[in-house]
Copies of this chain bind each other. A is one copy, B any other.
Amino acid sequence: MTLWDVKKILDENQSFDILVHKNPDGDTLGSGFALCRVLRKMGKRANILSSDGFPPRYAFLYEGYEEDADIGGNTDCVIAVDIADTVLMGHRLEKYTCEGAVDLCIDHHISNKMYAKQTLLDGSAPATALILYRLFKETGIEIDRQTAVCLYTGIATDTGCFKYENTTPEAHVAAAELMDLGIDYADINRRMFDLRTKSRLAVEQLAMSKIEYDFGGRMSMIVVTKQMIDESGADEAEFDGLAALPLNIEGVDIGITVKQRDEGRYKLSVRTNDKLNASEFCKGFGGGGHIRAAGCEICGKLEDVKSSIRAAVKELLESGNE
């Protein structure tokens, strides 16, 4: 479908439910609040529905947003933004997971399950917010300052502040135009990329203090046990997202984070640089993923799990995979 097909849907309906994915991030929220804002400015009624609420760290995205309590249970149109699969809607949005419940999905995940009646999909776009930016520009929908804040945040967060490979020239050009609308991009970036909570900091400290190197520093491994989590006093969720840390060390070709799930069950997150194939590595343990980022589970005693990992890394380093 074209951008103009989407514009027609916005024009022809009067009330909208906008769905964001569970554990909402900067792109789904930025896209959702941008879309909601332009719809309301078009004189439409719209709400944003999230299984996990709106985390306070994104408060600057929903400044001034209030739920429209009188919109009723039956809106004309349900739009999902940045949701590749109905399983990502989360518990509170279960009623939207049945077939035909979502009228329109706007997304950039190549893995999109095409569950919606219509889908505006571009798997080469680094963020859903960039697709919305195109939509607004192309169809003459005004982007005001607060909408620009939302779109910039979506693009910046999904590209790691324009750092990752998925960043496109178009993303930079969009950022330039959004900055021209007077947004406080430095403040946004500080909130999204620099600020850490005290407890997250403590968790990173703890994890990094346990780092183990092997094979002349080519492998690094962090093991997070249930005991560590309990003793830290931090929430278990704070221990997520550590997977990038072990690879970001000079000389390391494979970085592995091992997190204990239950007694005798360990979840591995494997990251590799361009010399090694993480997906191949994880397939050996019944897992899988991408070439540079993959995962798997290994059961057994921790010492045995670590031995298995080392043996597999040894094989990987020695094989033609290098």
Chain A residues within 8 Å of B, Cβ to Cβ = 161-165, 167-170, 172-173, 175-177, 179-180, 185-187, 189-190, 193-198, 201, 205, 208-209, 213, 217, 244, 248-251, 274
Contact = CB atoms under 8 A, between A and B. Distances in A.
A162 B162 CA distance: 7
A163 B180 contact: no
A52 B244 CA distance: 32
A201 B164 contact: no
Given A163-B161, A163-B193, A165-B186, A251 B208 contact: no
B165 A162 contact: no
A235 to B, nearest CB: 14
A198 B173 contact: no
A186 B190 CA distance: 21
Nearest to A244: B194
Nearest to A173: B176
Contacts of A168: 179
A190 B163 CA distance: 8
A162 to B, nearest CB: 5
B164 A162 contact: no
Interface centre among A164, A175, A197 (most CB of B within 10 A): A175
Nearest to A197: B250
Contacts of A217: 198
Nearest to A57: B250
Contacts of A249: 195-198, 201
Given A193-B163, A196-B249, A198-B217, A176 B186 contact: no
A161 B167 CA distance: 12
B196 A250 contact: yes
A190 B249 CA distance: 10
Nearest to A198: B249
Contacts of A196: 248-250
12 contacts: A164-B189, A167-B185, A167-B186, A169-B176, A169-B179, A172-B172, A172-B176, A195-B248, A196-B248, A196-B250, A198-B249, A205-B209
Contacts of A176: 169-170, 172-173, 176
Contacts of A185: 165, 167
